[in-house]
Amino acid sequence: MVLTYNFTNCDFTKIKEDYEKLIVGDFQTYINGTKSTQSSNYIFCSNQSDCLAKIESLTFGTHAGCGSLSKEMFACRTKATFAHRCPDYPRVKVNNTQAMKKRKKREDTAKECLKHVLRLQGLWRRFTRAP
């Protein structure tokens, strides 16, 4: 059972700065390297803590057809930001129960992963402007 951390007490301003300085570029690098896809079934988030909870779930969860994104640079930096800016954020949160199989980036896996990354990008953007 994966406990959901409550992001309400995080330092949103600092997280936003970390995103602007680092994570934005990681997404761009990832997206530029992968053929784009038309529709992505974006995910909505209402306020900043809701956005961070969904960002965490999407970043560190495992996804059919894609596997896990947790090894990507943006994920490592997301984890570092949460650990640094959110009080008592549990250090080891990543659900790595099964050994990460070496995943050759096949065309369909890349496309499936890109959908999740575009959703993440949408959530982060919403986080930076949410009321």
Partner 1 sequence: EELQVQMICFNFETVQVTWNASQYPGTNLTFFYKFSPEEEYSPCPRYTVDQGHATGCLLGAKDAILYFSIRDGSRPVLTMDQWVSEYLKPSSPEDVRFSWHQEAVTVVCTNLSYNGLLYEVQYRSTFDTAWQSKEEKSCHVTVDGLDAEKCYSFRARIKASEVSYGSATHPSDWSETALWQGGQPRDRCPEKEPLS
Binding site for partner 1 (CB under 8 A): 19-20, 24, 38-44, 121-122, 125-126, 128-131
Nearer to partner 1, 14 or 44 (CB): 44
Tell me the closest approach of the beta carbon of residue 99 to partner 1, in angstroms: 34
The HSE-up count of residue 4 (CA atoms within 13 Å, CB side) is: 13
CB 121 within 8 A of CB 43: no
Nearer to partner 1, 102 or 129 (CB): 129
Give me the torsion for CA of 57, 74, 119, 123, rounded to 10°: 80
Tell me the closest approach of the beta carbon of residue 108 to partner 1, in angstroms: 19
Tell me the closest approach of the beta carbon of residue 44 to partner 1, in angstroms: 5
Residue in 66, 98, 83, 86 with CA at minimum distance from that of residue 10: 86
Tell me the closest approach of the beta carbon of residue 24 to partner 1, in angstroms: 6
Nearer to partner 1, 46 or 96 (CB): 46
Angle between helices 48-60 and 73-85 (to 10 degrees): 140
